[in-house]
Amino acid sequence: MHEDMAMAFTGNPDVDFAQGMIPHHEGAIAMAEIVLEYGEDEEIRQLAEEIIAAQESEIAFLKAWLVREGY
């Protein structure tokens, strides 16, 4: 998973943050999906669902922001 997070830095901290957070959030979603498939604890499953919803929304925001900024 960490290899997927490797990125070239632009020198712009806002852009670097946005670009770095996308694979970070994708990793969180992948982990949450495993919980939904195999997990049994209802509280953990609920948290996984909340994480997926929040992270997907944030990924969409970050991608749109990067496009708006020309990246």
Encode pLDDT of 22-58 as tens digits: 999 999 999 999 999 999 999 999 999 999 999 999 9
Distance CA 58, CA 53 (A): 9
Q: Where are the domains of the chain?
A: 13-68
Question: Could you tell me the pLDDT band of residue 71, with boundaries at 50, 70 and 90?
Answer: very high
**Given this model, what pLDDT does residue 1 score?**
47
**Given this model, what pLDDT does residue 7 score?**
81
Q: Which residue has the tokens 């020198």?
A: 11
With left for phi above 0 and alpha for psi between -120 and 50, is residue 24 left, alpha or beta? alpha
Output the CA torsion 24→25→29→35 (10° steps): 60
Q: What is the pTM of this model?
A: 0.87
What is the pLDDT averaged over residues 4-33?
A: 93
CATH fold of 13-68 reads Ferritin (1.20.1260)
